[in-house]
Amino acid sequence: MQHTLDLGGTFDVYDIRRWDDLSPGALGSYLGTDAVKDALHVPRHVPWEFHDNTGPVAQHLAVDNMQDCSDKYRAIMDRYRALLYTGNFDTACGYRSTEEILDDIMDKRGLRAEWRDAPRLIWTQAQGNPKGFVRSHGQLTQVSVPDSGHEVPAYQPEICREMLYNWLFDRPFHGYDPLKAGKPDS
């Protein structure tokens, strides 16, 4: 991965528009509060530290980081509704990568054709601007959120909140299918 970053000019994999790391300042302030430490059973005297790709957790995860876990996704999707969302400027876990994974999962479930044929809705705001791009089939919903990096809720908090409410409470994503004739249903 580092080689790819070096060749690309050491861009930020979490937001291709940036050339520096995202600031964990607000997250650190929140996680450093006594209330959060108490809820997570972390001693209050232990300082919060940000480690993305270093430290003991990263070292333990490195062994299985690239292992195929699609069977676990299939097991989850057989029992539960699933929502996978990505920011369009995220290269760490981007939309296209997610789409490839979902195509493979749906293929192994014998549902690839239905998944690929599921309409891709342009989810719109009242003035017609896109909030996101949504595809659903059965218990699976995939959303791409424009103008967002890896941490979608940090980049687009209002849209993310609405996306979660729509999905959690089984509400429609208002918009339109661009392949069908007619006007948006906003």
Q: Tell me what pLDDT residue 168 has.
A: 95
Q: Does one domain contain both 100 and 75? A: yes
**Chain segment 89-98, per-residue pLDDT in tens:** 887 788 888 8
For residue 47, what is the DSSP state? P
**CA pair distance 127, 144, nearest whole angstrom:** 19
Q: Does one domain contain both 85 and 152? A: yes
Q: Taking Cα atoms as reference points, which of 169, 175, 167 lies closest to residue 83?
A: 167
* pTM score, whole prediction: 0.72
Q: Is 93 a member of any domain?
A: yes
Q: How many folded domains does the chain comprise?
A: 2
Q: Is 117 a member of any domain?
A: yes
Q: Is 185 a member of any domain?
A: no
**Chain segment 6-56, per-residue pLDDT in tens:** 555 565 666 666 655 555 666 777 888 999 999 999 999 988 877 666 777
CATH number of the CATH domain containing 141: 3.40.50.12670
Q: Which residue has the tokens 């760490």?
A: 92
Q: Does one domain contain both 58 and 74? A: no
Domain termination site, one of 28, 62, 96: 62
Parallel, antiparallel, or unpaired for β 175-176 and 130-137? unpaired
